[in-house]
Structure 1
């Protein structure tokens, strides 16, 4: 049976500040800021993740996302945090979220921690890079001079992405299997080294 496009229904309205991207496999996703209505789809999508995907993002096993964590994840503090999702082209709350990237400004600092999770269903198609570039863009626009994150040493996809984007890596003092990656966003500080 051949799939056809239904033309009697209008496509959903694109949320504000949404970028439409097409993956290498032809699927279309919306890159857009996270919305409070995304909490339930993010929780539902979390249940579809493999244990290894969760471990590589959270650095340890996590069975479910708590309500308080989900609330924090989808309720952004302007100027202090930013999160973007890659989701189906449907309104927030209805769209399955395939990837999420977030950064949180360190209190009283000009640095921010980032975290990215790309599910295996959309991995390997440049989505991690697209999300990271949006985080860098937001950070620069908000006076953040340094991005950093913690990455497990077996998370080769994230390590390769970070290095390709100019991040430096160091072994964490906390754990030998944990890497600390840092990107300096201030060109003056780079020249001064």
Structure 2
């Protein structure tokens, strides 16, 4: 893991994001690329839309477990609905031609019992294999712990090899989804 990034620089400012300390973090990826990681904000709506629209068909299929391509307003409404406790999201931003572009996102949503949360992570196709998913998931795991969740889980396509590798690296356990053989469930005790 230490080869995937250098230590982050926590902002000393107080945060409006629940139990999250700091407002943003500057991280350096394995290839030396810097990224800004911070909680999703309401003014990120267009960034989130652009991010989804740039994803490859395979990335969309793995993230949304279906064949959709592109972002519709209802999907964006649901993705933007965060409160930093029951629903949390972290963006990774990088400079691209003078603009900050979203290059990754991790998120969780509480289950009905408020002890478990479902998580997801997505990295832009051109930013994969640099350690970004690990950084985003570590921030998400930290937030879920601080917000009192006991277990994090994700439901993924069984053929999603990158998620299998990430989940194993982070210490998630894997089992077949008893309701759908095409999916697996990754779980992580917080």
Give the TM-score, by structure 1 length. Answer: 0.81
What secondary structure is seen at the aligned counterpart in 2 of 1:83?
Answer: strand
Q: State the superposition RMSD in angstroms.
A: 2.0
Structure showing greater radius of gyration is: 1
Q: Distance in 2 between matches of 1:78 and 1:131?
A: 15
Instruction: Quote the offset at 1:22 in angstroms.
Output: 1.9
Q: What's 2:8 paired with?
A: none
Tell whether 2:138 aligns with 1:125: no
Decide whether the 8 Å contact of 1:35 with 1:75 is kept in 2: no
Q: Please list every run of at least 4 consecutive aligned residues from structure 1 whose deviation after the TM superposition is greater than 3 angstroms.
A: none
- Once the two structures are superposed, residues 29-55 of structure 1 have per-residue CA deviations (whole angstroms, 9 ceiling, x without a partner) of 101101111111221122221101111
More strand by share: 2
The correspondence for 1:135, drawn from 140, 143, 159, is: 140
Q: Distance in 2 between matches of 1:174 and 1:65?
A: 27
The residue correspondences of 1:7-156 to structure 2 (distance < 5 A) are: 17-88=23-94, 95-156=100-161
Structure 2: gaps of 5 or more residues: 1-12, 16-21
Instruction: Quote the offset at 1:87 in angstroms.
Output: 0.8
What secondary structure is seen at the aligned counterpart in 1 of 2:61?
Answer: helix
The correspondence for 2:183, drawn from 178, 183, 186, is: 178
- Once the two structures are superposed, residues 163-182 of structure 1 have per-residue CA deviations (whole angstroms, 9 ceiling, x without a partner) of 12211111012221210111
Q: Distance in 1 between matches of 2:100 and 2:181?
A: 38
Give the TM-score, by structure 2 length. Answer: 0.82
Q: Distance in 2 between matches of 1:129 and 1:110?
A: 23
Structure 1: gaps of 5 or more residues: 1-13, 186-193
Decide whether the 8 Å contact of 2:116 with 2:151 is kept in 1: yes
What secondary structure is seen at the aligned counterpart in 1 of 2:126?
Answer: coil
